[in-house]
Amino acid sequence: MKRSKGKMLINLILINMVILIGCSSVKGEEKEIRIGVTLYNQEDIFVSSISKAIKEKAKEIEEEDGIRIVVDLLDAKVNMFEQNNQVENLIKQKYDVICVNIVDRTVSATIIDKCKKANIPLIFFNREIVEDDMKRWDKVYYVGTQAKEAGQMQGEIVIDKYKNNKSSVDKNNDGKIQYAILEGEQGHQDTTLRTEYCIKTLYNEGIELEKLDSETGDWRQTNAQIIMKDWLDKYEEKIEVIFSNNDEMAIGASEEIERFNKKNKRNYKPVIIGVDGTEEGLKAIKDGNLTGTVISDAKEQGINILEIAYELSIGEEVNIDKNILRIPHRKVVND
C-alpha cells in the first residue's frame, strides 16, 4: 500500500512537471515577436533614420515588457522585383507583421493580396501607396506625412522671409522671385506634391514668380551637385530661391555653390529650402548653408511604425482613422 501511494505521488510530480514544462514552452514562444521590414533603399539617409528609430523602439519595448522583438531589415536596393521576393520570404517564414517602404507605390496590390492570404498584417510607410489599395484589406496600415503640407511649409518659409526683408529674397529687386526646383524621384507622390504646393503657396500669396529651371535629382546629394554646377554655368547668380524636395539635394546644391564662390571669389547666397530635417540638414541650417527645412520627423515615424507593429503582433486592436497615421511637419529656419 505504501509502495502504491509512493508510486502515485511520483506520477503526480511527473505530470506536474510535464504541465509546467509545457506552459513554459508556450510562454517562451509567446515571448518572441518577429517583424520584417523591407526598405526601398537603405542608402537613403532619411529612410535609414526611420529604420534606426524602429530598431531603437523595439529595444525599448523589449526592456519594458520583457518580450523579445526581432526586427529584420532588408534592403530592396530600389528594385521592386527584389522587394516582392523579400515579402514572399517573410511570409514563408511566418513573420508576425511585415513593414514595407515600397519601391513602386503603383504595384502595392500584389503585396497586399499576398499578406492577406497569409493573414499577416501589413504596414506601409514613408512612400504612400495608392488610396484604392489601402481599401483592399482591413489589416493594411500606412504611416507617413502629408506630402502637400511639406510643400506648403516650404512656401511659407519663403513668404515669411520675403515679408520680413524683401531684398533678402528678391535679390535683383525686379519685383519677382526667380526660382529653380530640385525634384526627387520621378513619379513619387512626395516629389509631385512637394513641388506643386511650394509654388502654389507663393502664388496664393500674390508673389510674382519666374521659373528658371527644374531637374530630377532622385533624392541624391551627388546628383544635386551636378545639377547645380550646370545651373551655375547657365544662370550664374540669377536663381534667387532653390526649392529642394529633400535635404540631401539641398546640401548638394549648397556645396556646389560654396565651390563656385571660392573659385570665382563671389558671395552668391540664394535662399535654399529642403525637406526632411535630417541630422545633416539641420547642421547645414545651423552653419548658415541652408535657409531652412521642413522636418518630416523620421524618428517619430519609426516609433509609430514599431508601436503599431507591436500592437498587431500581440493581438491588440489598433484604432487609427482609415488605418492612416499622419506625422505632422514642422518648419526650421536659420535665424
What residue type is assigned to position 302 of the chain?
Answer: G
Per-residue pLDDT at 73 exceeds 50: yes
325 touches 309 (CB < 8 A): no
Least confident of 77-81, 127-131, 310-314: 127-131
Q: Which grid cell is 224?
A: 544635386
Residue 134 gets the label, from left (phi > 0), alpha (psi -120 to 50) or beta, of alpha
pLDDT in tens, 294-306: 999 999 999 999 9
pLDDT in tens, 213-241: 999 999 999 999 999 999 999 999 999 99
- pLDDT for the residue numbered 187: 86
For the chain, domains (ranges, CATH) are: 32-144+298-327 (3.40.50.2300), 148-295 (3.40.50.2300)
Question: In angstroms, rounded to a whole number, what is the distance separating the alpha carbons of residues 286 and 265?
Answer: 23
DSSP state of 95: -
pTM > 0.95: yes or no: no
Ramachandran angles phi, psi of 293, nearest 5°: -150, 170
b vs e for 210-225, b when ≥16 Cβ sit within 10 Å of the residue's Cβ?
Answer: eebbebbbbbbbebbb
Give percent above pLDDT 70 in the chain: 91
210, β-bridge pairs: 178
52, β-bridge pairs: none
Over the Cα atoms of the chain, what is R_g? 26
Mean pLDDT of 50-58: 98
Which helix (DSSP H) or strand (DSSP E) does residue 333 occupy? strand 330-333
DSSP state of 68: E
115 touches 94 (CB < 8 A): no
